[in-house]
Amino acid sequence: MKSTILRHAPSYRLVLCCVALIGLAGLIGLTGVLLGTIGSPAIAQASPAASKPEQTTATDAAPRKAPKGAKRDGFYEPDPIDWNDHSGYQQIFDGVSLKSWVFDPSVWHVEDGAIVGESTKEKPVSNSYISFHGFEAKDFDLKLEIKVVNGGGSGIQYRSQTGIPWRRAPADKQPNLEWMMTGPQADFWSPAFPIASEWTGQFYSENTPLGIIAWRGQVVQSSPGANPQLVGNIGDRTALGGYVKVNDWNQYLIMARGGTFIHILNGQLMAVYVDDDPNSSNNKTGMIGIEIEGSPSKVLVRNIWIKKLN
């Protein structure tokens, strides 16, 4: 074996020389490329990737504010809502006048910065509504404060209409239909009225055959031609009543998005309804309003703000 290697030694030396020369040439070429890339602007401009600016999004350009929610396992809880933040909202009641509102003057008036409706034993009111005619809305966030004293109940109308015949009155005894409203309602009743107190927070369709659709504590969905279905529970209906303040101001947040309706009272989710019927009376643009029902009763609503989304 050793003699064979010695006999072919010149050939091996030639191969090794060639390999060395090729390696040296490659190293020189690579060094030239690197030096040219660093020092030659012409080569840098020839590369499309080098000349293309870095793409940024609006979110990248304007980073979010530091989160306020609690930090857990490297993530943050959502920021808590600021009830007094009215960015993007419009105030539809200034606390002084009832401009753009239509109502029965024997029932509704302004008192201490609030819209007030009163029904007494001497002058009982079965149903009466005050409606805002400044504009209509379909998708929105609506924030307000409400309380009911002396019993009875109320409700916040939205996506609602006036002038529609009242189903609970005979044709020859119709009330003034400009003071009546038809459409979705976020119910609110005095906790002192036990029979109806569980209605507070529910989704009710006023003056239609639908009636109560999503009771307090429920998530309900409906489709064209089918009965509403209970798809989930928020909590016990009676226990949720503990979030309702008696003879005090309650913060009501109503959110409408397409066919989805969300009722939140004092920060607690009360009812969710999803109406997938595009022809439903619930899925129409309409007015905001307030109801008074029952005697005796006194309804007070203030700080009414709406953020229209379309």
Res 63: pLDDT: 61
114-119 and 297-308 strand pairing: antiparallel
Q: Are strands 268-275 and 218-222 parallel, antiparallel or unpaired?
A: parallel
Average pLDDT value for the chain: 84
- Kind of pairing between the strands at 71-72 and 75-76: antiparallel
71 pLDDT exceeds 90? no
Higher pLDDT, 69 or 242: 242
Give the DSSP H or E segment for 207.
Answer: none
| Domain layout of the chain by residue ranges | 2-51, 90-308
- For residues 1-7, average pLDDT: 41
Query: What values do phi and psi take at 157, rounded to 5?
Result: -80, 145
Residue 233's pLDDT band (cuts 50, 70, 90): very high
Characterise 276 by phi-psi region: left (phi > 0), alpha (psi -120 to 50), beta (else): alpha
pTM of the model: 0.79
| SS3 at position 232 | strand
More confident residue, 248 or 21: 248
With a CB cutoff of 8 Å and minimum separation 6, the contacts of 88 are: 307
DSSP-derived 3-state class of residue 114: strand
> Would you identify the CATH topology of the domain 90-308?
Jelly Rolls (2.60.120)
pLDDT digits (tens, 9 = 90+) for 5-49: 433 444 444 333 333 434 434 433 434 433 344 344 443 444 444
DSSP string, 275-308: E--TTSGGGS-EEEEEEEESSSEEEEEEEEEEEE
Tell me, what's the pLDDT at 95?
97
Cross-strand pairs, 203? 186, 214
Q: Measure the CA–CA gap between 175 and 188, rounded to whole angstroms.
A: 23
Residue 299 to residue 149: CA distance in whole angstroms? 7
- What is the SS3 assignment for 28? helix
**pLDDT band at residue 74, thresholds of 50, 70 and 90?**
confident
Give the pLDDT confidence score for residue 216 in this predicted structure: 98
What local confidence, expressed as pLDDT, does residue 192 receive? 74
Q: Are 130 and 101 in contact (CB under 8 A)?
A: yes
Q: Which pLDDT tens digit goes with each residue over 155-179?
A: 999 999 999 999 999 999 999 999 9
The pLDDT value recorded for residue 50 is 41
* Confidence check: pLDDT of 2 > 50: no
How far apart, in whole angstroms, are the C-alpha atoms of residue 30 and residue 34?
6
Indicate the SS3 state at residue 79.
coil
| pLDDT classification of 194: cutoffs 50, 70, 90 | confident
Cα 22 → chain centroid = 70
